[in-house]
Amino acid sequence: LDLSNCSLRSVPPGLAEATAAIVLDLTENPLTALPSSSFLGFIHLQSLAVPLTLECPGGNDTWQEVTVDRSGRLCQGQRNPCNTSVEL
């Protein structure tokens, strides 16, 4: 799901219906925050790209790999929260 460069200032309400998304790109948007409930139910999400100003949802420990380049932050491979000692 490519929502890059859509001038989004917040996560669109309709995004909650896209829980089957595997890849989601939110880069190049003036987002200031990602509410913690934004990605509830996105159990298939493998890659999430966010603007550089934002952290990966849940922090780096909830993702297998986090890479940063000049266009954004790429959060890859959600970790199963049931198999970690990290707070949800």
Q: Which amino acid is at 87?
A: E
Please report whether residue 6 resides in a domain.
Answer: no
| pLDDT, tens only, 57-72 | 988 888 999 999 988 9
The band of 83, judged by pLDDT with boundaries at 50, 70 and 90, is low
Model pLDDT, residue 59: 87
Terminal Cα distance for the chain, rounded: 25
Please report whether residue 4 resides in a domain.
Answer: no
Please report whether residue 86 resides in a domain.
Answer: no
Give Rg (Cα) of the chain: 12
Query: Rounded to whole angstroms, how far apart are CA atoms 42 and 28?
Result: 22
Q: Are 86 and 57 in contact, with CB atoms under 8 Å apart?
A: no
Model pLDDT, residue 86: 53
Whether 77 shows a pLDDT value over 70: the answer reads yes
pTM equals 0.86
Please report whether residue 83 resides in a domain.
Answer: no
* Residue 80 Cα to chain centre, angstroms: 15
Which domain, by its residues, includes 62? Answer: 15-78
